[in-house]
Amino acid sequence: MQLEKGSADSEEASGVAVRFVGAGVVEMRMVQPASRNAMCAASVAAMQGALAALASHPQCGCIVLTASGSGFCAGSNLKELHTLDAEGRAGFEQACGQLSRALVAFPFPVIAAVHGFAVGGGLTLAASCDIVLSTADARWSLPEVPIGLFPAWGLAPVVTRCGLVAAKRLSWGVDVLDGHSAWRLGLVDEIAADPEAAALALATRLAALPRLQAACVKRYFAEPLAGEAADQRSNQLFGEMAETAEAKATLQKYAGR
């Protein structure tokens, strides 16, 4: 499978453009700036499909999730939600949750590059990525409760990043954070003047890692473990990786020393 930037018509229809931008690095870009990259059924399906294809792509080593326009993502497209009945809305939110879990479970690193705003589902989408870069002036919030709704998906990654107490307060929607506040809370890993450029530079380094070993890091942290069970998991992965060509080449350097 060779991924190239699609036609303007296909990008407009799906709201997402996916392409290789370097050795092992894939850019997944939300391209609906007129709607502030609000998530719709087509864009969610496009991202799910891209992740499914890239998970087994031999050239993929890292994804950068970014967006065109004035900001990262304004959450769910309320105009589209208005046209759906209760069953349709539930199905859409379920699909968004599946997308969040697919990002968490993706075998290689995923970096979110955030500018402008990451609100509602945009915040939980970014939080589902392994590494989050943000401009200092980006706005972060979960505004659902004040408008009569509830953050329907992606709260588990927010809890993982911020802790239960901070995630609860954030979910009430009374706070709007800038990039530095989001960094102090744990939502953001790094402040960057140009998060896309910084994300691409980091993605290049991550994609250059041995693929199996990089994927093991995702496997280890996919299910939280503690104590002896955590050691058993890491020992198992160590044993598997010690049999790879890369590890054998490293160990061979010490033969006879």
pLDDT digits (tens, 9 = 90+) for 45-77: 999 999 999 999 999 999 999 999 999 999 999
Q: How confident is the model at residue 109 (pLDDT cuts 50, 70, 90)?
A: very high
**CATH number assigned to the domain covering 8-207:** 3.90.226.10
Task: Name the residue among 95, 94, 30, 101 with its Cα closest to residue 68.
Answer: 30
The residue with tokens 């939600």 is 81
pTM of the predicted model, to two decimals?
0.92
Is residue 228 scored above 80 in pLDDT?
A: yes
User: Token match 């930037």: residue?
Assistant: 5
CA dist 137 → 51, 61, 180, 219 (Å): 29, 30, 8, 34
